[in-house]
Amino acid sequence: MSPMTRILSVTALASVAFAGQAFAHAHLKSSEPADKAAVASPSELDLTFTEELNLKFSGVTLTGPDKKDIKLGDGMLEDGDKVLMVPVSDKLAPGSYTVDWHVLSTDGHKTNGSFTFTVNP
């Protein structure tokens, strides 16, 4: 095998290995309410991820229009442990809300992020 072929082979294998690790993280696939959606007050937040989650090390905070945290119920996993469902304890007042989430996938990778939605009057 020529040195150039060997270098290209090693580079290709390394690219595949690192790409596989990047795809192993639990990324937010969708949410209900959706990012930037205008909705009636939701009774729960449903966050769907690309990987199975570890509930013990995953969570959500909801911040209201007045920048105060909103009381949420205990989260639970659904749909093959890929959906984090968090009950909203009270009816939300009209305004803009921010959801901050952090999760640990079952393979040990941590990810986090946020999105916003608006509750209509």
pLDDT surpasses 50 at 20? no
Strand 59-63 to 76-78 pairing? unpaired
**DSSP letter string over 56-109?**
GG-EEEEE-TTSPBPPB---EEETTTTEEEEEB-SPPPSEEEEEEEEEEBTTS-
Q: How far apart are CA 53 and CA 105, in angstroms?
A: 4
Q: How far apart are CA 118 and CA 94, in angstroms?
A: 7
pLDDT tens for 57-87 read: 999 999 999 999 999 999 999 999 999 999 9
Strand 110-119 to 37-39 pairing? parallel
Cα angle for residues 56, 62, 68 (degrees, 5° grid): 125
pLDDT surpasses 70 at 97? yes
Tell me, what's the pLDDT at 3? 63
0.85 exceeded by pTM? no
Are the CB atoms for 117 and 34 separated by under 8 Å?
yes
Q: How far apart are CA 73 and CA 82, in angstroms?
A: 18
